[in-house]
Structure 1
Amino acid sequence: MSAPYRIAGKGRLTPARAVRFTFDGKHYAGLEGDTLASALLANGVHLVGRSFKYHRPRGFLSAGAEEPNALVGVHRDAARKTPNVRATVQELYDGLEAVSQNRWPSLALDVGAINDLASPLFSAGFYYKTFMWPKAAWKRFYEPNIRAAAGLGVAPDQADPDHYAARYAHCDVLIVGGGVAGLTAALAAAETGARIMLVDEQAEPAGALRYESGTRIDGQDGWDWAQAAVQTLRGMDNVHLLTRTTAFGYYTQNMVALSERVTEHLAEPQQDLPRERLWQVRAKRVILATGAIERHMVFANNDRPGIMLASAGRSYLNHHGVAVGRRVGIYTANDSAYHAAVDLKQAGVDVPAIVDLRDNPQGPGVDAARALGIPIHAGRAVVGVAGRQRVTAMNVQAKGGGAVNPIPVDALLTSAGWTPSVHLFSQSRGKVAYDDAGKRFLPGVGAQDCVSIGACNGTDDLDDLLSEAIKAGREAAKAAGIATGRAGPKLKATSSESWSGGMIGAGPGADADSKGKAFVDFQNDVTAKDIRQAVREGMQSIEHVKRFTTNGMATDQGKTSNLHGLAIAAEMLGKAVPAVGLTTFRAPYTPVTFGALANYSRGDQFDPTRRTAIHPWAEAKGAVFEDVGQWKRARYFPRAGEDMFAAVNRECRTVREAAGLFDASTLGKIEVVGPDAASFMELLYTNPWQKLEPGRCRYGIMLREDGFIYDDGVVGRLAPDRSHVTTTTGGAARVLNHMEDYLQTEFPHLKVYLTSVSEQWAVIAVQGPKSREIIAPLVEGIDLSDAAMPHMSVREGKICGVPTRLFRMSFTGERGFEVNVPADYGQAVWEALWAEAEKHGACAYGTEAMHVLRAEKGYIIVGQDTDGTATASDVGLDWAVGKKKADFVGKRGMARPDLVAAGRKQLVGLRSPDGKTVLEEGAHLVADPNQKVPMTMIGHVTSSYWSENCGHPIALAMVVDGHNRMGEKLFVPMPNGTIEVEVTGTVFFDETGERLHG
């Protein structure tokens, strides 16, 4: 199977290494080392996709990561279907199956192209104006159709069978980019002995040397020098070279995220290798050598297949040995396109004309083109093209107007100049500066320990670039603390390449009244006319223009379109380009798969699974578990024939009548230690702590600065300088963070040490009238009498021969103890307590019964009965706020007028008069069920259960002015009808609290 556009003797691929692949079901042949794009071009295929909005025919624009058009689906098998793959970076492998996207029924005949004819209806901002009315049409018509039309490729519908990996790494110097600048900097830095990481997104680092033909470094051809440099670096122990790896995000403290494509280039999935690997690299110094991206020319119908960047045409020719056409035209405002014309001409490709927007182009490339007899049309412009599914002619006209001269071509290479790739520098929060002479933005004031070198820094001369790179490499190593020693490498270069000239904005033939669309952003179908319309409609900031038109908002992040759009907007506004502003570059630099980002965090590894020391016992007893935060907690313990409702009712009844054992090990536990421990607690909690005697406990409330409840828990004072603080299960980490934050930033003068001991202690709650009888035979050295150990006290001693912190406290309203023992002994102590509990008819109970029991007593759960906007007063906990305390976190917030105003939601109880209906948690409450829709909601149900001990349903709710509504009738709209409820106090069982004290 021949490839008609493959040129014998050109490129660096081996003709004997043939590779078979398909595109839209048709079979083709390529060579090992091809990209999908180069292989298709070798076979004369230019039409590869349809545009997003207008479904116009689209071909390849580039040869790299900046590609906006050639997005295809790659199908390995039924489960491995990857949409929106850039054909320009997808390496060819034997058996590759690719399909075009966003077309129906076929690529050549797409009915969606009717959008192109209706384009006057889809001008910039049409969606903001169209979908506002009629209001009812949004849900019925607009949203379903917009969702159906959204996107390009089709997301896979099966689980991904591959695995992904993640790694963290540290280095002295991280170098991003493997072109001349990056390789040179790496060689210079590596000589010092510094730990170097060099990353490049290509399979073979070289940067622009992949296509340049007139560059020699140290007497070698540029490509050969690059490969020799790579081998040198690979042989150095202090260098880690990563290819096929994209640096996609630059974050604070010199952390750079990398995405490595490990097996995407291989024919078969590799079970022993990840498909992709996410690297998170922390570097002492970062060197950005990210190069520059060529811009296209903006003229009518500049999106036709066969029109591409000049550098892409050179890359396909000089690296892959593929001519992009047999008769290739050139349209430029930059010298670099002349080198493409020269290379094509020397390879035997007809170059009928070079059209240069400049009046008098000069330079070695121009001279070389003239020497080969290539006609040069200076001071002229391409104002349009012929052809639809592939360009067939370029229409040339003098800049000032006049006759249009069509020149037959089957491909057209364009170059409007080069845009330094400052994306990562911008992500690092560095400030860019506009270079008016070069019509480009360059790195300015940096915010982190990084330096930009080479083309991304605007360094055009090759000798200057080498000097800059050597200096940057050695200075980065030195800044990282490495002695640099001798002077470093000396490199000499010769090059006939020139990048001078360039323009930004629309060229002739891109007027607002032009018959053809002049595209600025190919992927989102944004034209020069759209940019002008945005300004006419009042958009003055480039960020507003961007959102109104979607220019630069596609997956290519405006790599080729941003500067053009900016220049057109600036022209319309009559402002200088930098005065209009530059859009923000955000991570990721190029699209990153969900698989790479999730890496190990999928399935059972999505979140760490934490189990208590008592988990095996509960599992053996048939417990049903639920996830609470990262913990597996026993929800209930069903017996034969019991469903959850019956099991929970039995557990609740048994705890009240005898006793129950509950695994409370998941509670957060923090030790606050030091001479200022009590002072610190005074500042972090609303309650007073200085006078709390050692051996006593107190319920504490923690607020945020705004006065709202943040967490709660019981605190036991073990000694004058030591407190044992408990938190909610889900709040353990954030409470410790909250404490550390204040200790370090607001109260650094206090001598306090905070230690998380959540995992150190297993906690067994023994609750119920017979709780003391159960623990008494096992406890040593602690007097358990009511007089010696009253409610809310803590003692240290032994149980079953192991150390214990024994709290007398209750979350059920019954006499209760919480036995804290070292986690290693948790199950053994539990089993000993269980043996005693069985003698007294006790049971093991789970979280569901715990919720019911605490609700019967009106005990709140932070995060369920509070929602982040509740104060202590709202939930009836005024008594826990020290009235005489001088200060604590949240004190001033509590005093805000809106937090003490009447009409706030307050916690109350609800009772259903029918004694049967359990309310839905989250259900709203209304005062009048007959009011017009939408009804005025005055509250919502926070907790709702059937109470076996009360014999009727119970509920807690947050209700507007609830504390003044006792006895009032309210209404709860439910799926099966509206339920009448009575507002009550929050305590439903043992209102006097006698059982708590035994």
Structure 2
Amino acid sequence: MSVSYRVPGKGRLTQAKTARFTFDDQSYSGVAGDTLASALLANGVHLVGRSFKYHRPRGILSAGAEEPNALVGIHRDAARKTPNVRATVQELYDGLAAVSQNRWPSLSFDVGAVNDLASPFFSAGFYYKTFMWPKAAWKSLYEPKIREAAGLGVSPELPDPDHYAARFAHCEVLVLGGGAAGIAAALAAAETGVRVILADEQADFGGALRFESGSVIDGQNGWDWAQASVAKLAAMENVRVLSRTTAFGYYAQNFVGLVERVSDHMQAPHPDLPRERLWQVRAKRVVIATGAIERHMVFADNDRPGVMLASAARAYLNHYGVAVGRNVGVYTANDSAYAAAIDLKKAGVNIAAIVDLRDNPAGSIIDEARAMGIEIHGGRAVVRVGGKLRVTSMTVQPKNGGGERTIPVDAVLMSAGWTPSVHLFSQSRGKVAFNDEVKRFLPGTYAQDCVSAGACNGTDGLSACLDEAYAAGVKAAKDAGGKAAKSTKPKVEASESWSRGMLGAAPGAGPGTTVKAFVDFQNDVTAKDIRQAVHEGMRSIEHVKRFTTNGMATDQGKTSNMHGLAIAADELGKQIPEVGLTTFRAPYTPVTFGSIVGHARGKLFDPTRRTATHGWAERNGAVFEDVGQWKRAWYFPKSGEDIHASVNRECVTVRKTAGLFDASTLGKIEVVGPDAAKFMELLYTNPWEKLEVGRCRYGVMLREDGFIYDDGVVGRLAADRFHVTTTTGGAARVMNHMEDYLQTEFPHLNVWLTSISEQWAVIAVQGPKSRDIIAPLLEGIDISDAAMPHMSVREGKICGVPTRLFRMSFSGERGFEVNVPADYGEAVWEALWAEGQKHGACAYGTETMHVLRAEKGYIIVGQDTDGTVTPDDAALGWAVGKKKTDFVGIRGLKRPDLVAKGRKQLVGLKTKDPNVVLEEGAQIVADPKQPIPMKMLGHVTSSYWSENCGRSIALALVAGGQDRMGETLYVPMPDSTIEVEVTGLVFFDEKGEHLNG
């Protein structure tokens, strides 16, 4: 039967509402507002898990996100099983079911604990040494066992039934951290009228005020001030307050990723609620107010359940009303542990002793503790603790050696000082600097528009933190365009303050000792392991980290990094800055796959895109193919036709009369602005300044290295407006490519880019009768050859709706591309189809489109190019402006290897047997009798049967191809070798007469 450790009259939770929960199938009771950790401690449960490597008993170390030990599985049902949840963060709800991890058959009796006895075989870097021999045993023996032992929790086996949401947000000031400093900064910024977002990972705002008992701000208890201030902020229209929201990643241009836990704290969430919400926030200014994290003391067996951070014990008492023990010992090198001891003593908990590593600790808080009758041992160290599944005693010794004294305890609180949380600052690419006076890494050189304030900036004392944060909020808002506002900064009337502390191993765990003094609890890294890494040649802290795995657990070294660094520096005989600091990477705390994936799962993993005419095509028997995310009509078979018969008929019909083709999937971008032509000159190989309004030009876009990136027809609608088309597959990347250069290389140009791919439905009407089909439906556009020659664009109306009409062709026939607003796409298609039927036109699909363009030698980027093709290679040298002095890729084109002879060039191929259709991708050789491996000259890029030519045709990339015209080459296949003749690219209408009907 469990015993309650609730302290009457303590904490901020109401006892009226209880919540039943289970831990390893044992039933317990907590209260509303508890975390799983506080509820377990209230029931006297300290043992919550087993360590990764040695399977040592582990208890609750902290009260927040830095927790390395208390990782549990949360099981809502068979499908909702979440491993590695920090019990210190998981809020309690009625019916919560939690299980311990990394143990068998039970938590109290774990067979895996034999690893602790075999620990000499599992020292630092053992996996680099142990599993190297014999080599043959890796796959059969080592790898399966290592994979079986890897990880802590068990991954769920069923699909996740929950759903996740995502939001994009913009603000002038983003405040990360909802402690006193963050609240002060948000208040200051909000008063100026700018948009402010305040985010904190806890359920309630207040930060350290949650456990502090002596703070008074503006005449209120610190916690009450925090709640009142946040309520004021939440009521302001320009402020968004996000609790249970962790800033996990700080990226370029003040882009910050946040994860909001929406329903994990609810017993029965509404089915419409997401489990988590991903916030992607772009801010003009960021105020980082993430506080500081208390460090543990490094001494023998410091991992026993019941040994925890002093601030955590204080939080459990002052916020949750839970005492972590009845006879508590304290081990510290910092004043803050005294505050915990005093609060516990006032709550009726016996403080067995305070062991202070400092020789002569002095100050008002020490005097207060002494006046309360608490025994203080200065200049002494805890050299080990007793107990196995729960601490039972601590053994004390003068730090320079001497007689030992064992003191019975049921909990040990420890504090080695506080480490500023510079994780997000470091993620922003800011450079930290070591302050030798206080022995802390602090924000140094900033890389983005952000500022650190409060404890994360190394500022000690509540009053100083609030002053600094308030000033930071005012400046951030002003820099972001906020108006001057009259507001009063919070006044601190009483506060707590502490600093200093120690880094590294405490006496009794120093060089030469073999005790297990843990630095990283989750990965079982000891002080001895760090020293061994140095002895084995690791000089960089990054190498030490990887050799020992220190700081590589789910807590990312929040409590262990500085200790590991200090031990390595001491062993190397160097100062801490000389050894360096490991890189802080996103995420700050673990992020679920669900929150990152959001809606992109199942049918939405790769969303299916359909054009405006999809329904018509479906009703008219189209067979579809997937092109990227698009469903495109592949061909339109009539009764009894297979794909070949259908495509042959469609190809002939287009060339003899006309065909309608849905080209809506083409990428479309508007380039607008006074410098639009200059921008086009720089992005494309072609000249654009002198292109007349109303005319079009085929454009080629290169990468910086000179290779073809994309192509498409560009129409000039006005002096300052271009309608750019791209390949279907290139729509997004071309837009990104343009935007990238506009923002980074050509920011001086006054240009706006807008993706209009989905705004316009595009209907290509191709063939000798194309003009007759569209003419009756047009208003305000003269489409005669004189008024609208090939490669022209006009604006007017068709069927009464606006249109951008291009006269252009991807078939080699007279052709028009009708652009209309997508909402009218199907209606205009049906009108054009009705007119087309009068002339015997057909609907055709992508396969026919490919054949028609291959007959004319028109390339498809990505099919006839492979990322190493230049304009000259593709016979597009004519599209490179000879007088142009600059464009993206111009220097790449001048590289010697890109102008050397023998490069692969695009050519046509005709098989000696006209009925043989080559396979796309087939290799080409000069001599089929040469020994294997043969020297390949190139490969087939496009290959079709052409009903219009009465034979097979193909395009290919062939080494020195343009100099091989008329030469016979060979295509070796498994059952035969095919002879081919190298030809020009154009197989049909070489003179181009069909473009004019």
Q: Judge same fold: TM > 0.5, yes or no.
A: yes
The one-letter code sitting in structure 1 at the alignment partner of 2:665 is: T
Q: Which moved more, 1:335-344 or 1:219-228?
A: 219-228
Partner of residue 988 from structure 2, selected from 955, 978, 990: 990
- Structure 1 residues 112, 846: closer, same or farther in 2, change over 3 A? farther
- Equivalent position of 1:101 in the other structure: 101
Name the SS of the counterpart of 1:72 in structure 2: strand
Return 5+ residue gaps in structure 2 as ranges: none
Give the SS at the match of 1:569.
helix
Residues 275-290 of structure 1 correspond to what in structure 2 (within 5 A)?
275-290=275-290
- SS state at 1:556 partner: coil
| AA at the equivalent of 1:665 | S
Q: Calculate the TM-score normalised by the size of structure 1.
A: 0.88
Equivalent positions of 1:298-309 (< 5 A) are 298-309=298-309
Deviation at 1:711, TM superposition (A): 1.3
Structure 1: runs of 5 or more not aligned: none
Name the CA shift for 1:643/1:130 in 2 (closer, same or farther; >3 Å).
Answer: farther
Please tell me whether residue 578 in structure 1 is matched to residue 544 in structure 2. Answer: no
Instruction: Provide closer, same or farther for how the CA distance between residues 196 and 985 of structure 1 changes in structure 2, counting only shifts above 3 A.
Output: same
Stretch of structure 1 that moved more, 91-100 or 361-370: 361-370
Residue of structure 1 equivalent to 2:364: 364
Please tell me whether the aligned partners of residues 199 and 242 of structure 1 are also in contact (alpha carbons under 8 angstroms): yes
Answer yes or no: is the 8 Å Cα contact 1:164–1:595 preserved in 2: yes
Secondary structure at the aligned position of 1:33 is classed as: coil
Task: Give the match for residue 892 of structure 1.
Answer: 891
Q: Which residue of 2 aligns with 1:259?
A: 259
Q: Which digits, 9 at most, give the CA deviation of each residue in 1:919-962, with x for residues without a partner?
A: 77667778999999999877566445666667887665545555
Q: Deviation of residue 262 (structure 1)?
A: 2.2
Structure 1 residue 429: Cα displacement = 3.5
Quote how far apart the aligned CAs of 1:91 are. 0.6
Letter in 2 for 1:55: H
Q: Which residue of 2 aligns with 1:209?
A: 209
Cα 1:780–1:251 shift into 2, 3 Å: closer
Letter in 2 for 1:323: A
1:425-470 alpha-carbon deviations (Å, 9 max, x no partner):
3333333332223221223344444433332232323333344344
2:2–2:44 Cα contact (<8 Å) kept: no
Cα distance in 2, alignment partners of residues 773 and 190 from structure 1: 64
Is the contact made by 2:72 and 2:85 (CA closer than 8 Å) also made in structure 1?
Answer: yes
Opposite residue 65 of structure 1, the aligned amino acid is A
Q: Secondary structure at the match of 1:352?
A: strand
Q: Kindly state the Cα deviation for residue 72 of structure 1 after the two structures are TM-superposed.
A: 1.5
In the alignment, is the contact (CA less than 8 A) between 1:876 and 1:907 conserved in 2? yes
Cα drift, residue 179 of structure 1: 2.7
Counterparts of 1:672 and 1:320, CA distance in 2: 59
Deviation at 1:523, TM superposition (A): 2.4
Q: Counterpart of 1:21?
A: 21
**How big is the shift at 1:62?**
0.5
Q: Which amino acid aligns with 1:967?
A: T
SS at match of 1:441: strand
Matches within 5 A, 1:334-483: 334-402=334-402, 404-482=404-482
Q: Secondary structure at the match of 1:729?
A: coil
| Distance in 2 of aligned mates of 1:470 and 1:754 | 39
Contact preservation (8 Å) 1:250, 1:427:
yes
Distance change (3 Å), C-alpha of 1:223 and 1:668: closer
Matched AA of 1:342: I
Residues 197-254 of structure 1, C-alpha deviations (whole Å, 9 max, x = no match): 4333222222222222333445544434444444454555555433222233334454
Moved more, 175-184 or 951-960: 951-960
SS for the counterpart of 1:94 is: coil
The answer (yes or no) to whether the contact 1:300–1:514 under 8 Å persists in 2 is no
Q: Tell me, in whole angstroms, the C-alpha distance in 2 between the residues paired with 1:617 and 1:225.
A: 64
Bigger shift: residues 781-790 or 23-32: 781-790
Q: Is the 8 A contact 2:246 2:259 kept in 1?
A: yes
Letter in 1 for 2:383: V
Q: How far apart in 1 are the matches of 2:987 and 2:422?
A: 67
Structure 2 contact 953–987 (Cα < 8 Å) conserved: no
AA of the residue aligned to 1:968: L
Deviations 1:15-47 (A, max 9, x none): 332211111222111111111011112222222
Deviates more, 1:853-862 or 1:502-511: 853-862
Q: Which amino acid aligns with 1:990?
A: F
Structure 1 SS opposite 2:730: helix
CA distance in 1, matches of 2:673, 2:822: 25
- Is the Cα contact below 8 Å between 1:956 and 1:986 reproduced in 2? no
What residue is the counterpart of 2:160 in the other structure? 160
Cα drift, residue 417 of structure 1: 0.6
TM-score, scaled relative to structure 2: 0.88
Distance 1:53 1:936 in 2: 54
The question of whether the paired residues in 2 share the 8 Å contact of 1:815 and 1:995 is answered with no
- Match for 1:306: what amino acid? G
Say what the alpha-carbon RMSD is for the aligned residues.
Answer: 4.1
Q: Answer yes or no: is the 8 Å Cα contact 1:950–1:988 preserved in 2.
A: no
Is structure 2 residue 81 aligned with structure 1 residue 81? Answer: yes
Aligned CA distance change for structure 1 residues 995 and 108 (closer, same or farther; 3 Å): farther
SS of alignment partner, residue 377 of structure 2: strand
Is contact 2:188-2:474 (8 Å) kept? Answer: yes
Partner of 1:869: 868
Whole-Å separation in 2 of the counterparts to 1:851 and 1:451: 56
Which residue does 1:91 correspond to in 2?
91
Counterpart mapping for 1:710-729 below 5 A = 710-716=709-715, 724-729=723-728
1:399–1:508: 8 Å Cα contact kept in structure 2?
Answer: yes
1:845-892 deviations in Å (ceiling 9; x for gaps)? 222332344345443221233233321233333343344555443222
Count residues with an aligned counterpart.
Answer: 994
What residue in structure 1 maps to residue 567 of structure 2? 568
8 Å CA contact 2:67–2:86 kept in 1: the answer is yes
Tell me the secondary structure at the aligned position of residue 563 of structure 1.
helix
Counterpart of 1:764, as a letter, is I
2:518 corresponds in structure 1 to 519
Q: Is the 8 A contact 1:927 1:971 kept in 2?
A: no
1:59 aligned residue: 59
Q: Equivalents in 2 of 1:550, 1:460: separation in Å?
A: 32
Aligned to 1:249: 249
Partner residue in 2 for 1:5? 5
Partners of 2:806 and 2:449 in 1: how far apart? Answer: 52
**Cα distance change, pair 575–98 in 1 and its aligned pair in 2 (3 A):** same
Looking at structure 1, the residues matched to 688 and 241 of structure 2 have their Cα atoms a distance apart, in angstroms, of 58
- Cα deviation for residue 837 of structure 1 reads 3.2
Greater CA drift, 281-290 or 20-29? 281-290
Check the 8 A contact 2:418/2:499 in 1, yes or no: no
Q: Secondary structure at the match of 1:77?
A: coil
Alignment of 1:595-634 (within 5 A): 595-602=594-601, 611-629=610-628, 631-634=630-633
Distance 1:135 1:990 in 2: 62
Once the two structures are superposed, residues 701-724 of structure 1 have per-residue CA deviations (whole angstroms, 9 ceiling, x without a partner) of 222232111211234567888765
Closer, same or farther: CA 720–910 of 1 in aligned 2, 3 Å = same
Aligned counterpart, 1:968 = 969
Instruction: Please state whether the residue corresponding to 1:766 is helix, strand or coil.
Output: strand
Segment drifting more, 163-172 vs 84-93: 163-172
CA separation in 2, counterparts of 1:982 and 1:480?
Answer: 67
Partner Cα distance (2:53, 2:682) in 1: 59
Give the Å deviation of 1:533: 3.3
CA distance in structure 1 between the aligned counterparts of 2:559 and 2:973, rounded to whole angstroms: 57
**What secondary structure is seen at the aligned counterpart in 2 of 1:328?**
strand
Structure 2: distance between partners of 1:451 and 1:256: 14
Distance 1:145 1:948, change over 3 A: farther
